[in-house]
Structure formats: structure tokens, C-alpha cells
Amino acid sequence: MLCAIMGSVPDTSPAFPVVLGLGANEGEPRVQLVRAIQELRSAVEGPVWVAGLYQSAAIGPEQPDFLNSAVLLDFPREPLALLELTQAIEQRLGRIRRGRWGPRRIDLDLLWAGERQVRSARLTVPHAQLTARAFALLPLLELCPEAADPEDGQPYRSLLPRFHSQRIQKIDSAGWELVP
């Protein structure tokens, strides 16, 4: 719905809709996610819509569950500039890169950018693991129910049955980031 609303506005700028995934499982995950959303709102022009809050089992080594969400925003520059912005936010919020699938104080991933595709050494859009991870796909679909793979047009919603074995639970509705 939100993606459709954004798409109905005349496109007079180079901005494009993008969905970022947010996750944290170290420190105070909910606080870290709220801080990341605040940083994004300060860094971009225009609204930043936020999906509900989900709790999901970690992938990889034994560690606490993650809290996950997603944000939808318009970004006026190239996707690599957005990657640099999200990595700077992660650094300010105390992310330490310790290896693949480990615990994280904050994680911001560019999940999907409408019809845009990026394949480079630094960035892949749509996210390479988007279609395998309920914690990424469910919040994205909450913001953009009609989202589809830009390469083959397959609606992401059609992939939902494959996630029955992944432990994930929606624990709060949209607007959770506004509650003190």
C-alpha cells in the first residue's frame, strides 16, 4: 500500500523507494532500532515509514533472538551512497563487525529498491538472502505488499509458504518506534 502511494506521486526527482531491514540482538535492541530510525529520519528528506516489530530466531551460532523491522523511504542518490549512509549510522551506534551471522548491536541492510538492481562487490540489491529470510521479507511486505523480484517479476508474497519453519513473531504494530 505505501509503495503504491509513493509511486502515485509524480516523479520529478531521481529519488527511488527503498526498503531497509533493521535488526539488533545485543545491548538494548529496541533502543538501538529506534536510534537507527531517528538517524535515518534526520539524514533523508521526506517521510520514513516503519513496519511493525518482529522477534526472530538468530541464524548461525547460538545467540539471543533478534528484533527486526524495516523502513521505507525515498532516496535521491545512488544505492552505494545509501550503503555508505547506513554503514555510518551503524558505526555511530556501536556496531562491531565480528564475522558472519554473529550477534549485532545494530544491522541495517538495503533489502529492496523497487525495480532497481545492483550487483557489485560492495552491494547486491535486492539483498542476496531476501527470499530466504522471513525476518527480512515479512516487514518488507508489510510496507510494500505488492513488492516483487525486479528480475523475474515474481511477487515476494508468493514465497511466504516456505517460511513455516522459521521462528518469527510480530510483537508490535507500526508506530512502535514512537512509544517511549
The residue among 53, 69, 68, 63 whose CA lies nearest residue 103 is 63
Instruction: Give the other-Cβ count within 10 Å of 56's Cβ.
Output: 21
Please name the amino acid found at residue 141: L
Outline where the chain has alpha helix (H).
Answer: 2-7, 29-43, 79-92, 134-143
Has 95 been annotated as catalytic? yes
Question: Among the options 35, 74, 107, 133, which is catalytic?
Answer: 107
DSSP strand E in the chain: where? 16-24, 48-50, 53-56, 66-75, 107-112, 118-119, 124-125, 168-172
Residue 104 annotated as catalytic: yes
Task: Please tell me the total number of residues recorded for the chain in this structure.
Answer: 180
Taking alpha carbons only, the member of 109, 100, 31 closest to residue 67 is 31
Mark whether 167 is an active-site residue. Answer: no
Q: What are 170's strand-pairing partners?
A: 54
Concerning whether 11 is annotated as a catalytic residue, the answer is: no
The catalytically annotated residue of 100, 109, 157, 172 is: 109
Burial of 143 (0-12, 13-18, 19+ CB in 10 A): buried
The one catalytic residue in 104, 149, 157, 172 is 104
Q: Which residues are catalytic, by number?
A: 95, 104, 107, 109
